[in-house]
Amino acid sequence: MASNELVFLFLCRALKRKRLLQTIKQEFPSIRVIEVPCIGRFNPILAFKMITAGAKGVLLLGCDPGDCHYREGNLISERRILYAKETLTAFGIHGSRIQAIWYNPGKDKQILHDIKLFLSEIARLPMLTLKPTQKKEG
Amino acid sequence: MINWSKITEATRHYLKSIFQPGDVILSYTESNTPGIMTPLVIREAEAIDKIILNPLCTQNLSVYLSEFFQQDIQSGNPAAGKWVVTVKPCDARSVIQMISDEQIAKDNLEMVVFDCDGTVTTKSLKNLLGGEIRSVKFEDHQAKGETLANKEVTADLVGSYQTKCSDSAICSLPDMHDYSFISESNRFVFHGSEKENALIQDTLSREDCFQRVSEELSKCIRCNACRNVCPACFCSDRCVMDKPKLAIPYITKEITLDQIFQYHLIRFYHVAPNCTACGECERACPQGISLSIFYRYLHRLNKQLFGAESGSSDSDKQKLLSYRFGEDLV
Amino acid sequence: MDTNRIYKKDMNQVFSALKKLGMAVIGQGFDEKQRLVFKEVNSFQELALQEITPLQPVKSFLFPPTETMFSYQKTEKGTRLTPEQEAGASKKKILFGLRPCDVHAIEYIQKFYNGNFPDQPISHYIENTIVVGIACATPSNACFCTTMGISPVSSSGADIFLTPTDDFFLIEFLTEKGKSIQSAFAASLKASEANDGNWKQKIEQSTINSLLEKIDVEAIKGKVNQAYDKPFWKKYSDVCIACGGCTFDCPTCTCFDVRDVMESKSDGYRYRAWDSCSFASFTLHASGHNPRNSKLERLRQRIMHKYHYTVANMQTWSCTGCGRCIRVCPVGINTRSILKDIKEALHE
């Protein structure tokens, strides 16, 4: 799997279900799932590293605002994610490569549907080739 | 049109009236390099007369404040008096932003804003005066220089000011109720001529914008000057770019295009909520990269999201540590 | 030593001949945003030799800002190292039109990297580089080469040396390396005329008149460390922002950092990249202790290195007075002022 086909999925613990993970692994082999205790743990500089290394996109799945197990994690993350998307836009990279979607726990079918939608959206985006361009002299 | 000698005189006069032993004043004076002023740290009242204010006062002095305050805290020996800083209106917002970010304490600070109708960089001044100069003086809106060949050259500054000086979103005062403003009219007025300078994120297609950004950033040599000169980058020694112990680092020190992008993405993301578009990053860059491409976009974003420019009020809460329920941003 | 004339109108022929010899020609010119830089040029017209020297130093063509040294793969049988061979290292290049300050800097870099343990990649680069010096007729207001004992028309260290006039250059082939490409110039060489010997002196005089006053640093040579504890350092370190601009633009700053990157559990690589003694992490130990914890110590160290430690260890100043540190400093710190302060503190 070339690194520029990968999509990273940050999944908050409250939304994680064994069957969901199995289905994602089967149906979407280009996705790597990263479990975080809460979507508030997500640090955009990780997403930047992934995107500059060639990943197609980063999808963030967290609980509905108001339903966070840790009370405010998802609320705090909203501005952070917005700045991350806007920073990418400022650089001429599509901000839609980072996408956050909020759910009530248990909505597995909805989650799979939205993942498929995200993959089809970013499939249309051009490939970002920043690596490996070794800077030579000057 | 402002009279710089009068502003300098009035600022010196005011500082002398408020200076107490133990205070430290941060202002500007002439450097030994023609075409650039240098920041001046004053610890005795007699040195106040060394202060000179003119269109070459481009440095944003707020960048020293967080360092000085941190030194106070670390040394366990807080400054005996206040930190007094003389700033231009654009830089005043950087000071206010630092107060909002809790990097400096309002109680220990006296901010004196002096009126300004535009600053020029050393490079623009040299272009204006036709080359290398031995010395330069300012009178009204004119720069009078002496070239290396001992010739006198005079030129009008209007039209050569920094780009930010024609942007009323950047040349704007914060809420001044606890601070002093030195000007001949005692009122702040936007002196620049508003220039329409469209953002490339709006005018170019996404691919062309990325192309342009790649071209600019390919010149980066990772010298970190932009980070070090930035008042919003107050992590200083704890910066994520300098973390040597991580085996799989967020960013390496390689000067390759992907790491250069990573550096600037991280940096602009981190300063996005606090950036006051002072433009120092662009001026300090030894490679002349147009960093305004990024900070102007983020500056406009902040105004759109929060209704006011960054650094407008010292009672603002830190943007990334707070939220409004139901904001529905993403 | 023979001196010939070569007319500027004939230079393009020379450039084509050099290209046929497989050489890349690098000199100062303007980029697409009108910034003066060192870049590869294809024709004589792309050069802007009448301008002051670019802010960017030419060292990036001899000592790349980043280099992967080797990659490693861990297998059951052990670890395999694969050294990286930079394709650019073997490419022959000509640095065309370097001022004496920059030529001296290359001499210093060569001496530095060929010390006890020759730096193979950099030696390789330098071997494949021919230096064409030019007498300096357009200094910047920050230049102080004469202070550092370098004449603006000195040909020392150059393989070929040019003296510019309005219509032609006087050209001298000084070393074997320089003579090895004489064929590219041969067709265009013209005989020099009777008074051509005066041009260098004329340029030297005019340039010296344009420079700011020479500081007598011979008086403090070998004694600069006595200024270590003097109070004037604080005046500069108070306003220094440790941006590293002076070190990255200095043609004789040679420090680099070496780091490893793990790409996976078994693969990775080691790279080196330019580093700066102005950075706080430069002397940071693994224990967390930092012997140069303050800006004052780092700024002082930089000056000591350029004006004392290399004098003591290598018997040479490592500053060539090119003035780039002064030109790039965003807060107006002036190295000449520091030298004057040292002199005053030592009563010299």
Residue from C43, C140, C46 nearest C99 by CA: C140
Q: What is the DSSP letter of B166?
A: G
Token reading at A116: 């498929």
| A137 part of contact set with chain C, CB < 8 Å | yes
From B235's Cα to the closest Cα of chain A, the distance in A is 15
Higher pLDDT, A138 or B205: B205
Q: At what angle do helices B292-306 and B257-271 cross, to 10 degrees?
A: 30
* Cβ-defined contact of B262 to A93 (cutoff 8 Å): no
| B249 part of contact set with chain C, CB < 8 Å | yes
Q: Nearest 5°: CA angle at B284, between B241 and A94?
A: 55
The number of CA neighbours under 13 Å toward the Cβ of C133 is 27
The enclosing H or E element of B29 equals strand B24-30
Q: What is the pLDDT along chain C (348 residues), one digit of tens a residue?
A: 578 999 999 999 999 999 888 899 999 999 888 889 999 999 999 999 999 999 999 998 888 888 888 999 999 988 888 888 765 567 889 999 999 999 999 999 999 998 888 888 888 889 899 999 999 999 999 999 999 999 999 999 999 999 999 999 999 999 999 999 999 999 889 998 888 889 999 999 999 999 988 999 999 999 999 999 999 999 999 999 988 999 999 999 999 999 888 888 899 989 999 999 998 889 988 898 999 988 999 999 999 999 999 999 999 999 999 999 999 999 999 999 999 999 999 987
Return the SS3 of A85: helix
B200 and B146, same structural domain?
A: no
Give the whole-angstrom CA distance, residue B281 versus residue B284: 5
Q: Of B160, B191, B216, which residue is a domain's last?
A: B160
Identify the bridge partners of residue B26 per DSSP, sorted by sequence position: B41, B85
Using CB atoms, pick whichever of B211, B266, B294 lies closest to residue A45: B266
Token reading at B120: 């020029």
Confidence at residue B119, expressed as pLDDT on a 0 to 100 scale = 94
Structural domain contains residue B329: no
Give the whole-angstrom CA distance, residue B278 versus residue C41: 36
Q: Where in chain A are the domains?
A: 3-123
| B96 part of contact set with chain C, CB < 8 Å | no
Torsion of CA B45, B49, B50, B52, to 10 degrees: 130
Enumerate residues 6+ apart whose C-beta is below 8 A from C209. none
Give the whole-angstrom CA distance, residue B254 versus residue B252: 5
Token reading at C35: 């910034």
Chain C residues lying within 8 Å of B37, measured CB to CB: 332
From B322's Cα to the closest Cα of chain A, the distance in A is 7
B21 and B75, same structural domain?
A: yes
Chain C residues lying within 8 Å of A137, measured CB to CB: 26, 60-61, 64, 88
Cβ pairs A/B, distance under 8 A: 112
* C251 preceded by a cis bond (ω within 30 of 0): no
Q: What is the DSSP letter of B86?
A: E
Give the whole-angstrom CA distance, residue A107 versus residue A88: 30
Instruction: Return mean pLDDT, chain B.
Output: 89
Confidence at residue C236, expressed as pLDDT on a 0 to 100 scale = 95
From C49's Cα to the closest Cα of chain B, the distance in A is 15
B272 and B132, same structural domain?
A: no
Using CB atoms, pick whichever of B39, B249, B288 lies closest to residue C331: B39
B37 and B130, same structural domain?
A: no
Phi, psi (degrees; rounded to nearest 5) at C174: -100, -30
Confidence at residue A136, expressed as pLDDT on a 0 to 100 scale = 38
Which chains have 3+ CB pairs within 8 A of A? B, C
Say if residue B245's pLDDT is above 80.
Answer: no
* Cβ-defined contact of C65 to A135 (cutoff 8 Å): yes
Cβ atoms of residues C53 and C100 within 8 Å: no
The enclosing H or E element of B136 equals strand B133-139
Confidence at residue B244, expressed as pLDDT on a 0 to 100 scale = 60
Return the SS3 of B26: strand
Chain A residues lying within 8 Å of B293, measured CB to CB: 90
* Cβ-defined contact of A137 to C60 (cutoff 8 Å): yes
Q: Nearest 5°: CA angle at B99, between B95 and B103?
A: 100
Please count the structural domains in chain B. Answer: 2
B169 and B257, same structural domain?
A: yes
Give the whole-angstrom CA distance, residue B321 versus residue B323: 7
Q: Would you tell me which residues 54-73 of chain B have a C-beta closer than 8 angstroms to some C-beta of chain C? A: 59, 63-64
Q: Of B106, B141, B160, which residue is a domain's last?
A: B160
Chain B residues lying within 8 Å of A76, measured CB to CB: 320-321, 323
Question: What amino acid is encoded at B21 in this protein?
Answer: P
Quickly tell me which residue has 């200083």 as its tokens: B236
From B67's Cα to the closest Cα of chain A, the distance in A is 25
Confidence at residue C1, expressed as pLDDT on a 0 to 100 scale = 55
pLDDT tens for each residue of B118-129: 999 999 999 999
Cβ atoms of residues B114 and B4 within 8 Å: no
Q: Would you tell me which residues 200-219 of chain B have a C-beta closer than 8 angstroms to some C-beta of chain C? A: 215
Q: Of B135, B160, B185, which residue is a domain's last?
A: B160
| CB under 8 A, 24+ apart: contacts of C196-202 | C196/C3, C196/C5, C196/C170, C197/C3, C199/C163, C199/C165, C199/C170, C200/C135, C200/C153, C200/C163, C200/C170, C201/C153
| CB under 8 A, 24+ apart: contacts of A70-73 | A70/A37, A70/A38, A70/A40, A72/A40, A72/B323, A73/A12, A73/A38, A73/A39, A73/A40, A73/A41
Residue from C94, C103, C89 nearest C57 by CA: C103
Region B132-148: mean pLDDT is 90
| Top CATH class, A3-123 | alpha beta
Token reading at B315: 């009672």
Secondary structure string (H, E, C) spanning chain C: CCCEEEEHHHHHHHHHHHHHCCCEEEEEEECCCCCEEEEEECCHHHCCCCCCCCCCCHHHHCCCCEEEEEEEEEECCEEEEEECCCHHHHCCEEEEEECHHHHHHHHHHHHHHCCCCCCHHHHHHHHCEEEEEECCCCCCCCCCCCCCCCCCCCCCCCCEEEEECCCEEEEEECCHHHHCCHHHHHCCEEECCHHHHHHHHHHHHHHHHHCCCCCCCHHHCCCHHHHCCCCCHHHHHCCCCCCCHHHHHCCCCCCEEEEEEECCCCEEEEEEEECCCCCHHHHCCCCCCCCCCCHHHHHHHHHHHHHHHHHHHHCCCCCCCCCHHHHHCCCCCCHHHHHHHHHHHCCC
* Cβ-defined contact of B269 to A83 (cutoff 8 Å): yes
Token reading at A15: 């939304």
Enumerate residues 6+ apart whose C-beta is below 8 A from C215. C144, C147, C336, C339, C340, C343
Confidence at residue C116, expressed as pLDDT on a 0 to 100 scale = 81
pLDDT tens for each residue of A9-63: 999 988 888 899 999 999 999 999 999 999 999 999 999 999 998 899 999 999 9
Percentage of chain B with pLDDT > 70?
98
Chain C residues lying within 8 Å of A136, measured CB to CB: 64, 86, 88
Cβ atoms of residues C67 and C121 within 8 Å: yes
Structural domain contains residue B323: no
Using CB atoms, pick whichever of C39, C66, C68 lies closest to residue A138: C39
* Cβ-defined contact of C210 to B149 (cutoff 8 Å): yes
B interface with A, Cβ–Cβ < 8 A, is 201, 204, 206-214, 218, 240, 250-251, 255-259, 261-262, 264-266, 268-269, 272-273, 293-294, 297-298, 301, 305, 319-321, 323, 325-330
The enclosing H or E element of A34 equals strand A31-36
Give the whole-angstrom CA distance, residue C8 versus residue C231: 53
B220 and B77, same structural domain?
A: yes
Phi-psi region of B186 (alpha: psi -120 to 50; beta: other; left: phi over 0): left
Q: Give the chain A residue nearest B201 (alpha carbons).
A: A90
Q: Give the chain B residue nearest C337 (alpha carbons).
A: B32
* Residue A104 confidence class, pLDDT cut points 50, 70, 90: confident
| A126 part of contact set with chain C, CB < 8 Å | no
Determine which of A43, A70, A79 to mutate to test the interface with B (most B C-beta atoms within 10 Å).
A79
Give residue B24's domain range. Answer: 4-119+161-306
Token reading at B77: 């020996």
Confidence at residue B220, expressed as pLDDT on a 0 to 100 scale = 93
Give the whole-angstrom CA distance, residue C75 versus residue B121: 56
Say if residue A135's pLDDT is above 60.
Answer: no
Return the SS3 of A41: helix
Confidence at residue B79, expressed as pLDDT on a 0 to 100 scale = 67
Q: Give the chain B residue nearest A135 (alpha carbons).
A: B256
Token reading at B121: 């960089």
Cβ atoms of residues C88 and A134 within 8 Å: no
Q: Would you tell me which residues 262-291 of chain B have a C-beta closer than 8 angstroms to some C-beta of chain C? A: 280, 283-284, 286-288, 290
Which chains have 3+ CB pairs within 8 A of C? A, B
Chain B residues lying within 8 Å of C242, measured CB to CB: 228
How far does chain A reach from its first CA to its final CA, in angstroms? 34
Torsion of CA A88, A94, A97, A101, to 10 degrees: 90
Region B254-283: mean pLDDT is 93
Structural domain contains residue B320: no
Question: What are the angstrom distances between the C-alpha of A126 and each of A114, A115, B177, B206, B271?
Answer: 21, 19, 51, 10, 28
pTM for the whole structure: 0.91
Which chains have 3+ CB pairs within 8 A of B? A, C
Token reading at B202: 């709006």
pLDDT tens for each residue of B310-330: 899 988 888 888 887 777 777
Chain C residues lying within 8 Å of A138, measured CB to CB: 26, 37-40, 60-61
pLDDT tens for each residue of B70-95: 877 777 767 678 899 999 999 999 99
Say if residue A137's pLDDT is above 50.
Answer: no
B35 and B60, same structural domain?
A: yes
Confidence at residue A134, expressed as pLDDT on a 0 to 100 scale = 40
Question: What are the angstrom distances between the C-alpha of C13 and each of C33, C45, C74?
Answer: 28, 12, 53
Q: Where in chain C are the domains?
A: 4-65+77-212, 218-347
